[in-house]
Amino acid sequence: MKLVLSSFGLGVEAVTEKIVEFVGKPADKISVAIINEAHSVDDTDKRWQIDQLHRCTQTFGGMIRIVNLLALDIAEIEKRLTASDVIFCLGGNTFWLKTVFERSGFEKILPKLLDKKVWFGQSAGSIILGKVATYREQFRKKDYYKGDVTKFYRIVDCHIIPHVGISDDPKYKFETCIEESKRQSSPVYALSDEGALVVDGEKMYMIGKNCHKIENGKIMESI
C-alpha cells in the first residue's frame, strides 16, 4: 500500500517527488484519475480546486481522468481507476465524501485499489482513510451537509488534521491538535500545507515541513 496523504495537495515539491518515486515512472508518463466530489455540497470559494486541477495538468503528462463516482456504475469506476497510475482524491467535505463512497459502492473496491495503486489525498481525500477526529464535530454544524457519518475508513491508524496554521480559525490552530490528541488512543498527525503523511506498506512517516505527530498532548515527532 502506497499512500501520500497531503494537506495542500500539488504544489509541494516533496509531495510530487514522493508520488513519482512510488509510481516508478517519469512525471510526464504518469496518468492520474481524479475523484473530485467532496467539494460539491459546500458553498465555498473553489479557486483552490481549480488551482489543483491546473497543477495536475502541469505536473503529470499522462492521461488525466475525472472519475465521477455518482455518475458511473461500479464496474466502469474500477476500470477507469485501474487504468491510471495514481488516484488523486481532492478535498472538500469529508462527511459528504464518505457518503459518496458508500452510495456509489466505491468503498467495496477501495481496499483492492489501495493494494495496487498510489493513492494521493488532498485534505478530505487524506482524512477519510484515517479515523474521525472528535474536534470535527464542533465545526460540523456549520457544514451544509451533515449526514449520519460516524466513522471514516481507519485504513491508517491515526487522525489526520490538515491545514494546521493557515489561519486563526480554531479548526486550524495547533492547540486544537494538542487537545484532540488527549481524546484519542491513536496518534494525531497535524499537517501543515507544506507537508504530508506517507504510508509505504508498514512504514508511516512525514515529509515536507512544519508537520507533527502528537500523542496524548505530547509532540512525538516533528519535521
CA distance 124 to 42: 13
Share the mean pLDDT of the chain: 94
pLDDT of residue 153: 97
CA distance 147 to 177: 24
Q: Model confidence over 98-137: pLDDT tens digits? A: 999 999 999 999 999 999 999 999 999 999 999 987 776 6
Q: Model confidence over 70-94: pLDDT tens digits? A: 999 999 999 999 999 999 999 999 9
CA distance 206 to 203: 10
CA distance 86 to 33: 6
Question: Can you spell out the DSSP letters for 21-67?
Answer: HHHTS-GGG--EEEE--GGGGS----HHHHHHHHHHHHH--S-EEE-
pLDDT of residue 215: 98
CATH T-level fold of 2-222? Rossmann fold (3.40.50)
Q: Model confidence over 146-205: pLDDT tens digits? A: 678 888 999 999 999 999 999 988 889 999 999 999 999 999 999 999 999 999 999 999
34: left (phi over 0), alpha (psi -120 to 50) or beta: beta
DSSP 3-state of 200: strand
Cell numbers that stand for 18 in this block: 514522493
Kindly report the number of other CB atoms within 10 A of residue 25's CB atom. Answer: 15
Q: Can you give the pTM of this predicted structure?
A: 0.95
Of 40, 46, 31, which is closest to residue 70 (Cα–Cα)? 40
Cell numbers that stand for 19 in this block: 508520488
Q: Model confidence over 36-81: pLDDT tens digits? A: 999 999 888 999 999 999 999 999 999 999 999 999 999 999 999 9
pLDDT of residue 142: 61
Of 63, 64, 60, which is closest to residue 28 (Cα–Cα)? 60
Name the DSSP class of 169. S
Of 45, 14, 22, 56, which is closest to residue 193 (Cα–Cα)? 14
Q: What share of the chain is helix, strand, coil (3-state, %, to 5)?
A: 40, 20, 40
Q: Where are the domains of the chain?
A: 2-222
